Chain A
Amino acid sequence: GAVVSQHPSRVICKSGTSVKIECRSLDFQATTMFWYRQFPKQSLMLMATSNEGSKATYEQGVEKDKFLINHASLTLSTLTVTSAHPEDSSFYICSATPDRAIYEQYFGPGTRLTVT
């Protein structure tokens, strides 16, 4: 149990385009999901907290108009990188907290974004 999936696993896009990344909790409901970003040889940095039915809470320094987060259901959160630039190239990882176990967090396998 407690499986989180991400799609796509890898994506290459051109500068100026937008790309959407999906995060799904497969076997549990998750009111709260998190989005992290990881640059090469760096640790995971929290970007935002996504709550179903409300606006996401962004960490300081993260542009909310550039990284659009939608948590439309209890099993799906999406991160859209708008007007992508090469510096947005990174590894994006989501995690989800089961509603039945609010102190636990399960991670997706990550999405490698490359902007050319």
Chain B
Amino acid sequence: KQEVTQIPAALSVPEGENLVLNCSFTDSAIYNLQWFRQDPGKGLTSLLLIQSSQREQTSGRLNASLDKSSGRSTLYIAASQPGDSATYLCAVGSSQAGTALIFGKGTTLSVSS
């Protein structure tokens, strides 16, 4: 059964720092991996989607990498801002079509000004 782990559980940084969030998964038979952002009491905002055949995806200050063979992904946030404060969730999609995404427990990020 797929298990997704995110480290650290919480992270506090001053504004302007670059940071890395980590995600690992136990079953490498994935179709894709997705990073989401969730603000308190809100739904999910999709940030980046990496297909299993890809190594990384970039969007603005965000860069996500995927090493499928080792079961790892990282989300790199450059020049962090207070508005980046949120919980970041990693989710993997199985290679079996029509199955649900499996989520990690998330990393709660706090960026102070």
- B98 beta carbon closer than 8 Å to chain A: yes
Contacts known (A32-B98, A103-B31, A103-B32); A42 close to B105, Cβ less than 8 A: yes
**Residues of A contacting B102 in the complex (Cβ-Cβ under 8 angstroms):** 46
**Residues of B contacting A72 in the complex (Cβ-Cβ under 8 angstroms):** none
**Residues of B contacting A103 in the complex (Cβ-Cβ under 8 angstroms):** 31-32, 93, 97
Contacts known (A42-B105, A44-B89); A97 close to B43, Cβ less than 8 A: no
Near B by CB (< 8 A), chain A positions 34-61 give 34, 36, 41-46, 49
Contacts known (A32-B98, A43-B89, A105-B93); A93 close to B44, Cβ less than 8 A: yes
Residue pairs across A and B with CB atoms within 8 Å: the count is 46
**Residues of A contacting B32 in the complex (Cβ-Cβ under 8 angstroms):** 103
Interface residue stretch chosen among A18-26, A62-70, A81-89, A106-114: A106-114
- B25 beta carbon closer than 8 Å to chain A: no
CB < 8 Å neighbour of B43 from A42, A49, A93: A93
| Chain B, residue nearest A9 (CB) | B43
- B residues contacting the other copy or chain, number (CB 8 A): 21
A residues with CB within 8 A of B: 32, 34, 36, 41-46, 49, 91, 93, 95, 97, 102-103, 105, 107-110, 112
CB < 8 Å neighbour of A102 from B91, B97, B103, B105: B97
**Residues of A contacting B91 in the complex (Cβ-Cβ under 8 angstroms):** 44
Measured CA separation A94–B98 after assembly (Å)? 14
Q: Are B43 and A44 in contact (CB under 8 A)?
A: no
**Residues of B contacting A46 in the complex (Cβ-Cβ under 8 angstroms):** 100, 102
Q: Are A112 and B100 in contact (CB under 8 A)?
A: no
| Chain A, residue nearest B91 (CB) | A44
Q: Are A34 and B103 in contact (CB under 8 A)?
A: no
